[in-house]
């Protein structure tokens, strides 16, 4: 199960057609806290009180306290080495897509062009009533008690998927397509406990893809479907793989 970056590089060279499936762990090194575990956001904010759509619709002022904090952290963040490595893999023609649960937009900033935002994006605002959208900018952070829709006066929310909301249909269809046609699924920095997202690596595995996982600790995927596990930080592991692929510095 435990493997080496050299072995993963050999596999990528042999098969190509990599699809990455990422979670909050890949952005921890960009200064954005994960959701679970010691420093996790959900340790500070109960997700059923602050991240469920019914809480947002009934208590927008309260929920915006957390959204403002997340927004500030995300707008300050820059791609980590691991984000950039996925950009380099795409540039080298080895990676076809990134399916991410993250809402920070860092994959696109790192150069990936086929990014599927399974849980939406915190870099966009949307009106829950009339679906009008707009950018989430620094200015939004200082609008008190929260930004409202200029068209219908409803409290605006970041265009992210709250608990109790469905996954965007287009994102789900694209993710299924990529997961069922890849040769290698590279899972980076996710606890694999939130569905339906966590079913994506299982879909790839059912179609015969090789499963490579990078995480500082094992997850439910590790014992169930992972062929190659690299224990440790995402950027260090990805840098070693790029090195063995001869792509360091791309
Ligand atoms: N490198 C690699 N993995 C890391 C690192 C790191 N530097 N730091 C943390 N991790 C791992 C943790 O061990 C954990 O398995 O990243 C994972 C983060 O897990 P979560 O916080 O649960 O985040 P995620 O899996 O993305 O959550 C899924 O849950 O709350 C919802 O909508 C939210 O998209 C999110 C979903």
Q: Mind spelling out the 3-state secondary structure of the chain? A: CECCHHHHHHHHHHHCCEEEEECCHHHHCCCCCCCCCCCCHHHHCCHHHHCEHHHHHHCHHHHHHHHHHHHHHHHHCCCCHHHHHHHHHHHCCCEEEEEECCCCCHHHHCCCCCEEECCEEEEEEECCCCCCEEECCHHHHCCCCCCECCCCCCECEEEECCECCCCCHHHHHHHHHHHCCCCEEEEECCCCCCCCHHHHHHHHHHCCCEEEEEECCCCHHHHHCCCEEEECCHHHHHHHHHHHCCCCCC
Query: Does residue 74 register a pLDDT over 70?
Result: yes
Nearest residue CA, atom 28 of ligand 1?
194
State in Å: Cα 132 to ligand 1 middle. 30
* Spatial distance between the Cα atoms of 249 and 239, rounded to a whole number of angstroms: 9
* Spatial distance between the Cα atoms of 201 and 186, rounded to a whole number of angstroms: 9
* Spatial distance between the Cα atoms of 182 and 15, rounded to a whole number of angstroms: 10
167 lines ligand 1 (CB under 6 A): no
State in Å: Cα 185 to ligand 1 middle. 17
Catalytic residue numbers read: 119
Per residue in 195-208, pLDDT (tens digit) is: 999 999 999 999 99
121 lines ligand 1 (CB under 6 A): no
Per residue in 122-140, pLDDT (tens digit) is: 999 999 999 999 999 999 9
190 lines ligand 1 (CB under 6 A): yes
Token pair of 44 as six digits: 């500070």
Give the pLDDT score at 250: 67
In degrees, rounded to 5, the angle at the alpha carbon of residue 76 between the alpha carbons of residues 72 and 82 is 125
Q: For residue 248, name the pLDDT band (cuts at 50, 70, 90).
A: confident
Per residue in 78-102, pLDDT (tens digit) is: 999 999 999 999 999 999 999 999 9
Ligand 1 closest atom vs CA 41: 21
Give the pLDDT score at 125: 98
């Amino acid at each position: 199960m435990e493997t080496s970056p050299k072995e993963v590089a050999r596999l990528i060279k042999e098969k190509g057609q990599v699809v990455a499936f990422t979670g909050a762990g890949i952005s921890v090194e960009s200064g954005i806290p994960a959701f679970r575990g010691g420093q996790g956001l959900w340790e500070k904010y109960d997700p059923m009180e602050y991240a469920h759509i019914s809480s947002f619709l009934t208590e927008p002022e309260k929920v915006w306290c957390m959204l403002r904090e997340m927004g500030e952290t995300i707008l300050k963040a820059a791609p980590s080495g691991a984000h950039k490595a996925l950009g380099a893999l795409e540039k080298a023609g080895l990676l076809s897509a990134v399916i991410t649960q993250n809402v920070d937009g860092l994959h696109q900033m790192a150069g990936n062009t086929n990014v599927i935002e399974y849980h939406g994006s915190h870099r966009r605002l949307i009106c829950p009533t009339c679906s009008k959208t707009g950018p989430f900018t620094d200015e939004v952070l200082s609008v008190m008690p929260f930004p409202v829709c200029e068209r219908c006066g409803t409290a605006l929310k970041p265009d992210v998927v709250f608990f109790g909301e469905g996954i965007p249909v287009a994102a789900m269809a694209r993710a299924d397509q990529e997961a069922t046609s890849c040769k290698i699924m590279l899972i980076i920095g996710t606890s694999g406990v939130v569905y339906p997202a966590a079913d994506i690596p299982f879909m790839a595995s059912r179609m015969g893809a090789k499963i490579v996982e990078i995480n500082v600790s094992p997850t439910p995927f590790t014992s169930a479907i992972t062929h190659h596990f690299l224990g440790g930080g995402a950027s260090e592991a990805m840098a070693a793989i790029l090195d063995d692929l001869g792509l360091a510095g791309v």
